[in-house]
Amino acid sequence: MSWPVLADERNCTACCACVATCKKKALKKILQNDGHYYIAIDQNRCVQCGACEKVCPIINGKDYGNNDFLATVPYKGWSNLASYRTNGTSGGIFGAVAYDFVKSGGIVIGAALLHNECKHIVVEKIEDISRLQGSKYMYSDQSGIYDVIKEKLKEGKRVLYSGLPCNVAGILSFFSNHPKKDNLYTIDLVCGGIPSTLLQNCFFKIYPNSQILSFREKQEYSLTYLHNEEKECAGYRNPLISGFLSGLTNRYSCYHCKFAYLHRNSDLTLGDYWQKDIENQQPASLILVHSNKGKELVASENIHIEKAEWKDFLPYNPKIAVRDIEWDKRWERKNLSYIYHKFPTYIFNVIYASMFKKYDAFAIVYLVYKKMCYFLEKRRRHLFVMDILKNIYQHRNQ
């Protein structure tokens, strides 16, 4: 026997399936200097059973998806329930799906903001569904969720889990042999990566004693927060929004994502339905239906859906299928921890959040370089997506 080999820091997603499966509690999350959580082994507790290796979606080698466009049906849509459409970031589809699920006796699990932290929680009441709506550009704590799902499935409950693709991969791997796995429904999201918690630290240096309320106002990235019991807006240019959009603080695993595909093992993928001339369009959700259970989830009078064409949205939301971005090699990511701990907060914010003072020569030169990098990456993504679309429509014309 030997010590288990878990996903290393370049590949670990912190889905915590390994932590949940360890009966000896020999694994735990550790927050490292780059502001990301990784898994550590307590060799005094580990009995070398290998259960953690078998459940890890990175180590066990099980495929999460592929780009078989014939296996997935794309839709755009929105909630017919006004409150969920208003509270949702785009079309409010998740709120409507959760409403029907809870109303039929199921429970819903998703990410919620709790005291400036993001955590997956259980919702069993319709009035609590709104807590799960809206984008949260933060790492979500999964602590205890695997045990909750296990208990609810044992009780015969239907469970709907919503999370990032890597989260869902962990859930599906953990429950792959569960006798009641057919009662487990999953929704994953179009993901832009998991940003470092260092961005949160910087935000609260600028806005101390604040409570984050939301990250988006429909298509507009705009952070709102509560300060001295008054609602205020930090707009777009702040560590949490600009820092997230920069992509320069993401987990290393996000730069070579193993879960971004057109077709996935989740039942649904939800995201923003972005297209050309989006300013003239009403906010809508992108819905990728991957399974019969996915069809069941959106077959509701509370949901309006209409067939969509890949060519109409994929060029404007390439993160659906683009898995590789070489920014793990950029000096900003390699030196993330060093810059945060050794340089003034102002320098950190210039580099990672594009926040700078007027006439700052260093900032101006750096931001020009940064824009050039983004332009080249955007071009690369576009070519990758065009290649996918070419394959789709060549197949249709045969």
Contact 19, 39 (CB under 8 A): yes
Q: What is the pTM of this model?
A: 0.95
Going by C-alpha positions, the residue among 138, 174, 389 that lies closest to residue 262 is 389
Which residues of the chain are modeled with pLDDT < 70? 1, 277-280, 398
Q: What is the pLDDT of residue 148?
A: 97
Q: What is the pLDDT of residue 143?
A: 92
Q: What is the pLDDT of residue 61?
A: 86
Q: What is the pLDDT of residue 102?
A: 98
Q: What is the pLDDT of residue 283?
A: 87
Q: What is the pLDDT of residue 277?
A: 66
* pLDDT tens track for 356-377: 998 899 999 999 999 999 999 9
Taking only Cα atoms into account, the Rg of the chain, rounded to an integer number of angstroms, comes to: 21
Q: What is the pLDDT of residue 280?
A: 56
